[in-house]
Amino acid sequence: MTLKNTVNNRAGLFAGRAVTAVFLCALLLCSFAPAGVRGASKASVKTKATLMFTGDLMCLKGQQYDASTKKGFDFYPAYRYVAQIFKEADMVCGNLESLISESNPLTKDQVYENNEPQCNGPLAYLDALRKASFDVLVTANNHTCDWGAVGINETKKHLDEYGFLNVGTHFEKSKSTGKKGSEAGPGTEDRFVIYNAKGIRVAILAYTHLINQRQKMTPEQMDTMVHLYDPEVVKKDIADAKAAGAQFVVVYLHNGTENTEELTKTQIDDSGFVAEAGADLIIGSHPHCLQKCAYINTSDGREVLCMYSMGNFVSSMARDINNDTLILKVTLTSTQTKDKTDVRMTGASYIPCRVAPKAGHSFVVIPILKYKDGSYASNSLKEAAQRISKIIDGVIPERNKTTENPQNKSK
């Protein structure tokens, strides 16, 4: 044995003894640590996902004229400023309140029927929604049947082609598939869809009380192609979604009265039932204006956030109440331990927005940001922010995001 080896072996022996001593000290310290500290050492993994929701994605006559170009249509300018916000989300969902049916006239080219506009947009509208980062679109609303079964079939075909998960309507022959729901992508014919947001399985369901053009559908088509609100069906759909692995359930309800902030008894009763049935978040549409929100307390001890109406997210309607809008931002936290995975909504806030002219376009969704000195870019945006805040009434906070005031910066 050489000296070199002897020295090295000795150094290794001393190092081994030192490690043993450190281990024993650590063991003694842990044994005297408070129970809560010792418990914290148990392995758990937390994952957070950000979801964003909007109200009605309209594609009305004025919007179509505004988006007209020499080559067709470009609707993306309407979403340019909120697209940056949507990039922060792991999932973006909205209510598509328009058909995309090339076999039928566009809204700008046809007359009213039964004193109601028939909503139909060009394929380019989906280009804008995809570019703006929408992931899921709900299709159960009062304009769903504006062009009958053909309109529904063509709209769903295009939504699938563009890769949007979509829920609320079915292809005409979907009854034969026998599916209840799945986590598949485009082409599914399900009562619900499940979106994987950073490993958290979010189910989206959609129902409507109202249909404008029922006469264009046969009773069988209406029964099999459209998600009409039925309490027992909703209850079963939510149970099926959870059985399929959904960890958070979002339900869109299309009901209420247009152009008023007043809630109807139907809105209140239906939302209460849906919360009891197991929904974790309820989003209302149809009034075309923002309405109050509230937490609904369920008999099993849950608090379910209900946005009774998210209003229009974008439209060419003229009233102030039609153009005040918001983005709902929800944070989900998944806590995974050895024994189970627990998913909870750990945050909810809103980003106020206003549809207004900007950069040469008439109907642009503008996020309302407050400058660090408390001012706004214009009085109209300030007034819109105040109206929105009054409706929300502190139930959920405004997202606290400020920026430099360019006027102050130049001083």
Q: Does residue 408 sit within a domain?
A: no
Shared domain for 223 and 248, answered yes or no, is yes
Q: Is residue 219 part of a domain?
A: yes
CA distance readout (Å), 192 to 146, 211, 331, 393:
23, 20, 21, 32
Sign (positive or negative) of CA dihedral 295, 247, 285, 95: positive
For residues 67 and 16, state if they share a domain.
no
Do 146 and 295 lie in one domain? The reply is: yes
Same-domain pairing of 132 and 167 = yes
Contact 99, 150 (CB under 8 A): no
Asked whether residue 409 is assigned to any structural domain, the reply reads: no
Same domain, 30 and 50: no
Are the C-beta atoms of residues 115 and 147 closer than 8 Å to each other? Answer: no
pLDDT in tens, 257-313: 999 999 999 999 999 999 999 999 999 999 999 999 999 999 999 999 999 999 999
Closest C-alpha among 147, 112, 87, 126 to residue 329: 87
Residue 261 located in a structural domain: yes
Does 177 share its domain with 203? Answer: yes
> Is residue 25's pLDDT more than 50?
no
Give yes or no: residues 11 and 120 share one domain.
Answer: no
In a domain, 187, yes or no: yes
Asked if residue 109 and residue 129 are part of one domain, the reply reads yes
- Can you give the pTM of this predicted structure? 0.85
pLDDT at 8 exceeding the cut of 50 = no
Nearest to 169, CA basis, from 182, 157, 183, 185? 157
Question: Considering the domain boundaries, does residue 191 fall inside one?
Answer: yes
| Strand, helix or coil for residue 292 | coil
Which among 136, 105, 140 has a CA at the least distance from the CA of 120?
105
- Cα distances from 401 to residues 35, 133, 352, 355, 373, in angstroms, run 40, 21, 11, 19, 12
CATH number of the domain that residue 89 is part of: 3.60.21.10
Q: What percentage of residues in the chain have a pLDDT greater than 90?
A: 78
19 and 92 housed in the same domain: no
Q: Is residue 119 part of a domain?
A: yes
Domain that holds residue 30: 3-34
Domain count, the chain: 2
Query: Are 58 and 9 in the same domain?
Result: no
410: in domain? no
Model pLDDT for residues 383-406, shown as the tens digit of each residue? 999 999 999 999 999 986 656 665
Looking at the structure, tell me whether residues 23 and 53 fall in a common domain: no
Q: Are residues 10 and 65 in the same domain?
A: no
